[in-house]
Amino acid sequence: MSCNLSKAAFLQTFRKLSCVHSQLLLLRGVHVSQFKPPVVPTDIDPFPLFMEEGVQTILNDITGIDLKKTALLQPKKLPLKPVLRAVPDKELKRLQADSFKKERSKIEQRPPFMRARKEISRELARNPEIAPVMTNNLLFIDTSAFTRSERANKDKVVVVRDTEGTLRTATQEERDRAIQIAFPVRGRTIFPSSFFKPENLHNALQRCRYSYVLDKVCVQYDPDHPEFLRITKEIYDYILERMEFDALRGTRHFGSMAFYLSLCHREYELVLDMLERKLIVDVMDYIRLHRKIHSQEGSKGSLSKPLGYDKKNFEKLMGLYMKRITGNRKKQAEKMVESLLEAGLPEIIKENLSQRELIDSYLKLETNVY
């Protein structure tokens, strides 16, 4: 036990941790190690890159669809009666395809990775002569036509008349509150709950409820909100430190996380994790994405054409990738690749591809017809 905690505190935290990996980390005392949190580069604008179609398809493919994960028991307020049915083969496939499609549409709604929004301060008019009449600030919202609540924050005009008599555009915080009152988003509160405070957030993370917290954050904040960026970064760093990428695989947050890691040049851990799980095709896609993000042309540069997924191309790609990394990491990666070659690389690739084809075949099935 080489950590700095006292015995009682150690036991308390150990019991709280539900994942084996974090427990091991605690035992090793790694939580006090020199983990350097990734730094987001300022020179790249991530949003247009993220929204590119090629990038999105890669992120979809990496995430995959895991029906076993979606079928895990989720506690509801009232336990609803399960329905039993006897169905023939074709009908079962249709039903499965239905849930595959639903799952994919959920995954496609991944929160975009954006820069933090800028503060607005624009004075429209100054009338100090009406100041004696003004007792409070007056806030005006354009409620002329209903827009979708997701878009409302961007479209609507919100204007404030000060007690000093100046007419100005509302600050971002004022906008948020005003628009939530006029066009309420379901599940969002005007004053954010104390759940998002760092101490409470840490408690939830210790129980490995990453996707649950991320879903909550997505409801409460817009993706360009500075608070959103802070919390998501905290969670992604937490996962990176513990190498628990598998907890998010199959959810809509996996793509965002992979993009963030690649943007901050911390893709190595994820690549290693994929190699460990024998997801060769995913590794090839992910490295392609990484090279695209950090190519000199930036968002203008196009994605390299997908090479054929075979042994030769994999070795070539890994060789190129290995040139950039150095030292201890390089040795580790080389060792992994060697062990994969011994295990029979072509068979693994074939298995990965068949897995993807299965998902694609389900997504192509027509679900409306019996």
Choose one: 20-28, 93-101, 288-296, 337-345; the region binding other proteins (CB under 8 A): 93-101
Choose one: 66-74, 274-282, 284-292, 327-335; the region binding other proteins (CB under 8 A): 66-74
**CA 116 – CA 180 distance, rounded (Å):** 20
Reduced to 3 states (helix: H, G, I; strand: E, B; else coil), residue 184 is coil
**On the CB side of 130, how many CA atoms lie within 13 Å of its CA?**
13
Alpha-carbon distances of 288 from 291, 314, 350, rounded to whole Å: 5, 11, 19
Give the contacts of 104 (CB within 8 A, at least 6 positions apart): 60, 65, 363
Q: Which member of 4, 6, 42, 194 binds other proteins (CB under 8 A)?
A: 194
Candidates 177, 239, 243; CA nearest to 213 is: 239
Reduced to 3 states (helix: H, G, I; strand: E, B; else coil), residue 177 is helix
Choose one: 71-79, 120-128, 148-156, 265-273; the region binding other proteins (CB under 8 A): 71-79
**On the CB side of 15, how many CA atoms lie within 13 Å of its CA?**
5
Q: Which member of 8, 83, 145, 369 binds other proteins (CB under 8 A)?
A: 83
304 binds other proteins (CB under 8 A): no
**Residue 137 carries which side chain, given as an amino acid letter?**
N
Burial 48-71 (b: 16+ CB within 10 A, else e): ebbeeeebeebbbbbbbbeeeeee
92 binds other proteins (CB under 8 A): yes
- 1 vs 84, beta carbon nearer other proteins: 84
70 binds other proteins (CB under 8 A): yes
How many residues bind other proteins (CB under 8 A)? The answer is 30
Q: Which member of 42, 88, 186, 327 binds other proteins (CB under 8 A)?
A: 88
Q: Which member of 6, 74, 144, 368 binds other proteins (CB under 8 A)?
A: 74
**CA 288 – CA 59 distance, rounded (Å):** 11
369 binds other proteins (CB under 8 A): no
**Residue 11 carries which side chain, given as an amino acid letter?**
L
Q: Which member of 71, 133, 145, 369 binds other proteins (CB under 8 A)?
A: 71
366 binds other proteins (CB under 8 A): no
91 binds other proteins (CB under 8 A): yes
81 binds other proteins (CB under 8 A): yes
- 67 vs 138, beta carbon nearer other proteins: 67
108 binds other proteins (CB under 8 A): no
- As measured in angstroms, the least distance from the Cβ of 138 to other proteins is 22
Choose one: 94-102, 132-140, 229-237, 296-304; the region binding other proteins (CB under 8 A): 94-102
Dihedral class, residue 107 (left if φ above 0, else alpha if ψ from -120 to 50, else beta): alpha
The span from the first CA to the last CA of the chain, in angstroms, equals 61
Residues found near other proteins in the complex (CB under 8 A): 67, 70-76, 79-92, 95-96, 99, 189, 191, 193-194, 370
